[in-house]
Amino acid sequence: MKKVMRFLAVCVAIVFSTTAFAQSTAQKEVEEKVQQLTKAMIDGDSATLDKLASNNLIYRHSSGHIDTKKDFVHKLASGESDFVTIDLTDPTISVINKNVVVVWHTLSAKTNDGGKPGEVNLYIMLVWEKQRGQWKLVARQAAKKL
């Protein structure tokens, strides 16, 4: 009986450590993708934005307007939506499962949309899904800070 209990205890420990490792790995991978996304948004780097965004991306702006992947990439690459600086604070990353991670943070940025300088302060939620071994942004939701 003691051998069985020890065996079960080892199995439980392995399951929990494997799950923790998978969460830690997913969290680190998505943190890196968020950094790449932020840089690509500032640079207007259409190739990187295209690579990071899922073909099914839905981006709901704080105004309620919804962009597709095509809209999202075009606006940033063309300068229609121009981020000069982006500062992300208060990050929270939740690993939902091995293929889905949700990220929340506060975004403060200087913009130059259409040649008009401005500032934005938003709460952002990002949903990342692992698709064919690559983390893809499937949803982005912005809400104005009150």
Please report which confidence band the pLDDT of residue 3 belongs to, taking 50, 70 and 90 as the band edges.
low
Domain that holds residue 48: 26-144
Q: Is residue 89 part of a domain?
A: yes
The answer to whether residue 75 scores a pLDDT higher than 50 is: yes
Answer whether residue 36 is part of any domain: yes
- 3-state SS, residue 110: strand
DSSP H stretches of helix in the chain: 2-43, 46-52, 69-78
Q: Which of 123, 126, 118 is nearest to 143 (CA)?
A: 123
Q: Is residue 72 part of a domain?
A: yes
Taking the CA atoms of 116, 117, 118 and 124 in sequence, report the sign of the dihedral they define. Answer: positive
Query: Do 142 and 122 form a contact (C-beta atoms < 8 A)?
Result: yes
pLDDT-based confidence at 23, cuts 50/70/90?
A: low
CATH number at residue 85: 3.10.450.50
* Number of domains composing the chain: 1
**42: in domain:** yes
**Entry pTM:** 0.83
> Quick one: what percent of the chain has pLDDT higher than 70?
84
Q: Does the structure show a pLDDT above 70 at 128?
A: yes
